[in-house]
Amino acid sequence: MEDTDRAASTINQLYAYTLNMAHYGEQFLAYETTNEHFFKTGSSDILNQQFSYLKKVKKLSTDIQSSKGKWKHSYQTELVQFDQLIATYERTYTEIIKSIKYKGFMDYGLLGHMKEQINYLEESSYINKEYLLLMQHQEKEYLIRGNKEHLYNTRSYAARIKRELNQNPNISMGEKIRLTEHLRRYNSAFLQVVEEDLKVGYKMNKGLVPRIQQLTKDIGHLVTAINEQAKSKKNDLYDKARVGVVTATTISVILLLILSVSFNIILKR
């Protein structure tokens, strides 16, 4: 019974750690990807909590499988599968964080580099400001919606600005090269942002985020099943123990009655 209690308690601890890990993972994706402090410092309290629980999950699962208790064999197959899912989860989540940092936010990463190029272009009197504003508007619409139409429109306005620069006879060759280079850098960074968005897949049915969402569900279902199995084994053992106690008590009462009847018969003789 002690082994069963220990198993139920340890498995329940694994269950709690896993749910917390998943919770903080979802919180990070929901709130920290637009938190300037995270991109400025590279640090996030939510992310630290998530990886803290991930570390606890991995250690506890390893401890269970390396323990001397015979009860661990009841969960061996499920725990091996669990470890595989956790390893895939960790790799996928690490990729997501790397991609998010690379894309950046506001003044950081690729988006910060794009903003810097826009600032240079805004300073020039040779740039068509109407096209520049429209290009920025389409860029922001793309970042919000992930719509291909806004992607093409952003590229289209960039092409118009470049065409006007090339056709303007009043710009010196050096200035034309400088402005064209800033526009090229903007375009290059924007296309890299698009690539990172496609890889991460925030607004799509494929990519790293949909994959991590599915992994979270699979891990949740598996650890819940393991926990329910441990609770069921514990409850079954306690039920058997209660039945044993009731049976022993009943037999004792019957024996006492038999002895009482036998004693009364002897007295009557």
The residues spanned by each domain of the chain are 2-102+203-230, 109-200
Tell me the pLDDT band of 249, cut-offs 50, 70 and 90.
low
pLDDT digits (tens, 9 = 90+) for 15-72: 999 999 999 999 999 999 889 999 999 889 999 999 999 999 999 998 888 877 666 6
| Third-level CATH fold of 2-102+203-230 | Four Helix Bundle (Hemerythrin (Met), subunit A) (1.20.120)
First to last CA, the chain: 50
DSSP 121: H
How is residue 62 written in tokens?
């390893």
Task: Report CA 60 to chain centroid distance, whole Å.
Answer: 20
User: What number is the average pLDDT over the span 84-91?
Assistant: 96
- Taking the CA atoms of residue 163, residue 166, residue 172 and residue 177 in that order, the dihedral angle to the nearest 10 degrees is 80
Sign of the Cα torsion 18, 75, 12, 231 reads: positive
Residue 257 pLDDT: 54
CA distances from 58 to 52, 85, 161, 187, 193 (A): 10, 11, 54, 43, 33
Contact call for residues 145 and 203 (beta carbons, < 8 A): yes
Confirm if 203 and 150 have CB atoms less than 8 A apart: no
